[in-house]
Each structure stands twice: as structure tokens, then as C-alpha cells.
Amino acid sequence: MLRWTVTFIIIALIAGVLGFGGIAGAAAGIAKIIFIIFIILFLLSLITGRKKV
């Protein structure tokens, strides 16, 4: 999932440099959403994956 975030960030950067504002904004928005989902799932896996001794 983190790989998709990096992909969309790269697309947004390239589109921004080339002057495609709409595409850059959309790709950056998608990257933000995927990154937030990644962080939430990562935190949930940390909390539920702890071994109880």
C-alpha cells in the first residue's frame, strides 16, 4: 500500500512540473488518502499484534 502512495506522489510531482494542475492535485489527494489508510492499518496491526506474556 505504501508503494501506491509513493507512485501517486511521483505522478503528482511530474504532473506539477509539467503544469498539469488538475492531474497533480488529484494524484496528491489519492496519495494522501492511501497514506492515511496505511497509517491506520499499521497502527491497528501494532495494537492487535502484540504478544501477551
Measured at the CA of 10, the angle between CA 27 and CA 12, to 5 degrees, comes to: 35
| pLDDT of residue 50 exceeding 80 | no
pTM over 0.75: no
Is 53 part of a structural domain of the chain?
no
What is residue 49's DSSP assignment?
T
Domains of the chain: total = 1
DSSP class per residue in 2-28: HHHHHHHHHHHHHHHHHT-HHHHHHHH
Reply yes or no on whether the pLDDT at 53 is more than 70. no
- What are the respective helix, strand and coil percentages of the chain, to the nearest 5? 85, 0, 15
What domain range includes position 14? 2-48
- Give the range among 11-15, 16-20, 38-42, 49-53 with minimum mean pLDDT: 49-53
* 36 belongs to a structural domain: yes
**Percentage with pLDDT > 90 across the chain:** 2
Inside any domain, residue 17: yes
